Structure 1
Amino acid sequence: MLNIALFGPPGAGKGTQSEFLVKKYNLFYISTGDLLRKEIAAKSKLGLEAKEIIASGGLVSDEIIVQIIEKTITENPNANGFLFDGFPRTYIQIYILEGLMIKLNTSLNCLIGLEVEEQISVARLLNRGKTSERLDDNEMVIRNRLREYHDKTLPVLQFYKDKGIYFDVKGNQSIDMVNQDIQQIIKAELNKSLFNVVLFGYPGSGRGTQGIALARKYGLEYVATGQMLEQEIKNNSDIGKRIIELYESGELVPDEIVVQLIENKIESSNGVKGFIFKGFPRTLVQSYILDGLLKKHTSSISQVIDIQVPTLELINRLDERSKTERCMPYDTSTSKIVKRLQEHEKKTAPVIEKYNQMHAVKKIDGVGSVKEVFDRIAMEIENNGQYLG
C-alpha cells in the first residue's frame, strides 16, 4: 500500500499534482474538508455531529475527523493506497495518523512538501481570484492564510523530517517538472519496499506453475510451503526427520515448523524484490502469522491474487495429473479430489474474505493456456501502484 501526505501553501499547486497522483498510482484522495462536506450531505451520524458543531461556530474535533478518515479507508479496499491532502495539520493529528496506520497494518510512506516563495503564491492566488470570484482571494486574506499555514505546519514538517520521510519539491517550477520530481521521490520510496504477493487458488488451478513463472519474471522469491517441507526431508535435517514422523503418524505439520522455514527463507533471501507465497497462508491463524512475519521485516502484503477455475475443470485437471509422475495422494480418485476441494474451500474462504477487506483480492480467470493466465496475472501486478518494473 502506498500512502502519501501532500503539503504545500495555498497556491502551491497541490490540486493539480493530487489529481495526477491519484490516477497514476490508483490512490484514494483524502481531504478532510471534502470528507466532512460529503458526510454532512449524506446526513450520516458523523455528518450531523459535524454540522451541529460548525453551526455553533466550533471546530470539528479530531475525534470526528479520525472516525471519518478510518471509515473512508476501510470503505475503499480497492485503492492501492491513500493521498492525504493537508493532513495531519497539527502535532496531535500526527499521532492520530500514526495510530490509524498501525491499526490498518500500514504506514505513511512519505510526506511531500511543495515549497513556493510567498510572492509566487500571492501572485498565483491573485491571478486565480480574477476568474474564480472567490472572496478570500485578495492580498490581505492570502497573506494571512500563508502565515497561518506556515505557523501550523512547521512542527508537522519537522516531525517527518526527523523521521526521515519528508521530501521537499520546488513548487515554482513548471507543472511537469514538479510532477517529475514527485515521481522520483515515490519511485525511490517504493524501491525500499518489498513487493509481496499471496497467490490463492484451489488445487489444480495452476498456482505452482504461475507462481514460479511470476517469481522469475519479477525478481521475486517463490515461497511454497510444500516444496520447503519436501526439501527438509531430502536434506535429512532435524526438521525433515520430524516432518517424516508427523506424516507417518497421520498428523499435520504444525505452524511452528512452517513459520520457522518461511522466516529462514525470508532472512536468507538477499537481493530479491519481494516474495510470492503459494500454499501459505491456508488458515486465518496463518494469515495473522504472515502479517506479523512481514511486519517484523518492515514489510507487508502488496497484492493478493485468487486464480479462479470452475469445479468441473479442477476435477478434470487433477484426474489428468493422477496419471503422471506429478500425482498427489489426493489425486487418486474422484471422491478424494472432491473431498480435497471441499476442505480447501472450508479453510481458505475465511482467509480470502479477510484479505478482500484489507487488500481487495484480485480475481483472475484461470481457464485457458498457461500463458493466457500468466498474462492476466502479470497485467494485474503491473497495474498495481506499488510495483516498479
Structure 2
Amino acid sequence: MLNIALFGPPGAGKGTQSEFLLEQYNLFYISTGDLLRKEMSEKSKLGLEAQSTIASGGLVSDEVIVQIIEKTITENPDSNGFLFDGFPRTYIQAYILEGLMIKLNTSLNCLISLEVDEEVSVSRLLNRGKTSGRTDDNELVIRNRLKEYKDKTLPVLKFYKDRGIFFEVKGDQPIEEVNRDIQKVIKEELNKSLYNIVLFGYPGSGRGSQGLALAKKYELEYVSTGQMLDYEIKTKSKIGKRIFDLYENGELVPDEIVVQLIEKKIENSKGVKGFIFKGFPRTLVQSYILDGLLKKHGSSISRVIEIEVPTLELINRLDARSKTDRCMPYDTSISKIVKRLQEHEKKTVPVIEKYMQMHGLTKVDGVGCFEEVFQRLSDEIVKDIK
C-alpha cells in the first residue's frame, strides 16, 4: 500500500500533481473538506454531527474527522493506497494520523512538500483570480492565507522530518519537472518497502509448491516454519535438539521457538524484496506476533491470499500424496486427513477472518493444474507491483 501526504502553500500546484498521482498509482483521494461534504450530503451520523457543529459556528473536531477518514480507508480496500490532501493540518493531527495508520496496519510512506517562493504563489493566485471569479484571490487575502499556512504547517513538517519521511520538491518548475521529481521520491520510497504475502490454504491446497514458485519469480524470501524447524534438526543446533525432543514426545513446538526462527530469518535476509509466509500464522496469537515482528522491522503485511480447494479434492490430493515420498504424518489414513483438515478449520479460519477485516483477503481458485493456479496467483501479485 502506498500512502502519501501532499503539502504545499496555496498556488503550489497541489491540485494538478494530485490528479497525476491518483491516476499513476491508483490511489484514493482523501480531502477532509470533500469527505465532510460527502458525509453531510448523505446525512450520515458523522455528517449530521459535523453539520450541527458547522451550523453553530464551530470547527469540526478531530474526533469526527479521524472517524470519517478511517471509514473511508476501510471502505476502499481495493485501493493501492491513499493520497492525503489537507490532512494532517496540525501537529496533533499528525499524531492522530500516525495512530490511525498503525491501527490499520499500514503507515504513511512519505510527505511531499511542494516548495514555492511566496512571490511566485502570490503571482499565480492573482493570475488565477482574473479568470476564477474567486473573491479570495486578491493580494491581501492571499498573503494572509500564505502566512496562516506557514504558521500551521511548520510543526507538521518537523514531525515528519523527525521520522525521516519528509521530502521537498521545487514547485516553481514546469509541471512535468515537478511531476518527475515527485515520481523520483515515490519510487525511492517504494524500493524501501518490503512486499510481504501471507499465503493461506488448507493442507493439500498447494501452498508449499506455489509459495516456493512465487518467491522465486518475485524475488521474495520464502518463510516456511516446517522447513525452518527441519533445518534446525538436521544441523543439530541447540534449538534443533530441543525441537527434536518435542517431536519425540509428541508435543507441539511453542511459539517462543518459532518466533525466534522467523525473526532470525527476517534479520538475515538482506537485499530481498519481501517475504512470503507459509504455515505462519496458524493461530490468532501468531497473527499478532507476525504483525509485531514486521512492525519492528519497519514493515507490514502487503497482501493476504487464500488458495481455495473443495474438501473432497483436498482429501483426494492428500490421499494420493500418502503414496509418495512427500507423505506427511497426517496423510497416512483418511481419518487422519479429515482430523487435520478439521484442526486447520478450527485454528486457522479465525486468523483468516481477522486478516480479512484488517487487510482484505484475496481468494484464489486452487483447482486446476499447477501452472493455471500459479498464473491466477501471479495475476493478483502483479496488480500490487504495478
Deviations 1:127-173 (A, max 9, x none): 44455433333444333322322222122223322332111112233
CA shift, 1:314, in A, is 2.0
Identity rate, percent: 80
CA contact (8 A) 1:77 1:356 kept: no
Give the aligned partner of residue 91 of structure 1: 91
Give the aligned partner of residue 106 of structure 2: 106
CA contact (8 A) 1:78 1:359 kept: no
Taking structure 1 as reference, are residues 22 and 354 closer, same or farther at Cα in structure 2, changes over 3 Å only? Answer: farther
Give the aligned partner of residue 32 of structure 1: 32
Residue aligned with 2:195, SS? coil
CA distance in 1, matches of 2:86, 2:249: 60
CA distance in 2, matches of 1:2, 1:209: 29
Deviations 1:242-275 (A, max 9, x none): 2232223222211111111111212222222221
Give the aligned partner of residue 335 of structure 2: 335
CA contact (8 A) 1:77 1:357 kept: no
Give the aligned partner of residue 364 of structure 1: 364
Larger CA deviation: 258-267 vs 126-135: 126-135
Taking structure 1 as reference, are residues 129 and 317 closer, same or farther at Cα in structure 2, changes over 3 Å only? Answer: farther
Q: Which letter does structure 1 place at the counterpart of 2:325? A: E
**Alignment of 1:239 onto 2:236:** no
Deviations 1:265-310 (A, max 9, x none): 1222222222111000011110001111112222211211111222
Deviations 1:100-131 (A, max 9, x none): 23333332221101122334434443444455
Q: Which runs of 5+ in 2 are unaligned?
A: none
Larger CA deviation: 125-134 vs 338-347: 125-134
Give the aligned partner of residue 44 of structure 1: 44
Question: TM-score, length-normalised on structure 1?
Answer: 0.92
CA distance in 2, matches of 1:23, 1:335: 53
CA distance in 2, matches of 1:161, 1:332: 59
Residue aligned with 1:148, SS? helix
CA distance in 2, matches of 1:236, 1:158: 51
Q: Which letter does structure 1 place at the counterpart of 2:81? A: G
Give the aligned partner of residue 305 of structure 2: 305
CA shift, 1:224, in A, is 0.3
CA distance in 2, matches of 1:161, 1:245: 51
CA contact (8 A) 1:204 1:317 kept: yes
Give the aligned partner of residue 14 of structure 1: 14
CA distance in 2, matches of 1:109, 1:237: 39
CA distance in 2, matches of 1:101, 1:327: 43
Deviations 1:11-62 (A, max 9, x none): 2222232233233333322111111111211222222121111112121122
Taking structure 1 as reference, are residues 122 and 295 closer, same or farther at Cα in structure 2, changes over 3 Å only? Answer: same
Give the aligned partner of residue 217 of structure 1: 217
Count of residues in correspondence between the two structures: 386
CA distance in 2, matches of 1:368, 1:175: 49
**Alignment of 1:227 onto 2:236:** no
Question: TM-score, length-normalised on structure 2?
Answer: 0.93
Give the aligned partner of residue 266 of structure 1: 266
Give the aligned partner of residue 278 of structure 2: 278
**Alignment of 1:76 onto 2:44:** no
Q: Which letter does structure 1 place at the counterpart of 2:73? A: I
Structure scoring higher RCO (CA < 8 A, sep ≥ 6) equals: 1
CA distance in 1, matches of 2:367, 2:17: 40
CA distance in 1, matches of 2:364, 2:246: 35
Give the aligned partner of residue 198 of structure 1: 198
CA distance in 1, matches of 2:9, 2:348: 48
CA contact (8 A) 1:26 1:80 kept: yes
CA distance in 2, matches of 1:129, 1:341: 68
Q: Which letter does structure 1 place at the counterpart of 2:217? A: K
Residue aligned with 1:383, SS? helix
CA distance in 1, matches of 2:380, 2:118: 43
Q: Which letter does structure 2 place at the counterpart of 1:18? A: S
Give the aligned partner of residue 161 of structure 1: 161
CA distance in 2, matches of 1:147, 1:28: 29
Q: Which runs of 5+ in 1 are unaligned?
A: none
CA distance in 2, matches of 1:2, 1:102: 14
